[in-house]
Structure 1
Amino acid sequence: MNDGAFFGAGQARDPIAGSADGSGDFTIPRRPVRRRLCFLPRFVVTRGGEYCFMPSLSALRWLGDLTG
């Protein structure tokens, strides 16, 4: 989430989910004029994390049928 390419913002970091140090900025795409927020403070402090993956029921059934 710290890579702007993840959510289409170029080099910017996500101001909520990304880790920031208060020196960055973020551009909100609006019409007719974009809004740029400068020197955003840190909103979130990460203490740990997990990556969880749960396959769909159809995938679990397919895997179950492979062994039968």
Structure 2
Amino acid sequence: MRKKSMSEKEANAYKVQAEGKAALVAAWVPFLTRLVTVAGLVVLALLGMDAGPLKPVLDLVTSFMQ
């Protein structure tokens, strides 16, 4: 059976779809990073652990938020 090649229109549609997904992921990464950081700090607080040693990590994450 012969493999049907994609038309230029179909190829462009796939490219646009891939670019849209990449933009969506790029938009959500900062939010998800903050969410995971805050959730981790809440867990540490609930467990009664000191988050002092993690301050450099927190500073690094919050620097990306600005």
TM class by smaller structure: under 0.3
The structure with the greater share of residues assigned to strand is: 1
Q: Which has the higher contact order (CA 8 A, sep 6+)?
A: 2
Q: Give the TM-score normalised by structure 2.
A: 0.22
The structure with the greater share of residues assigned to helix is: 2
Greater Rg over alpha carbons, structure: 2
Q: Give the TM-score normalised by structure 1.
A: 0.21
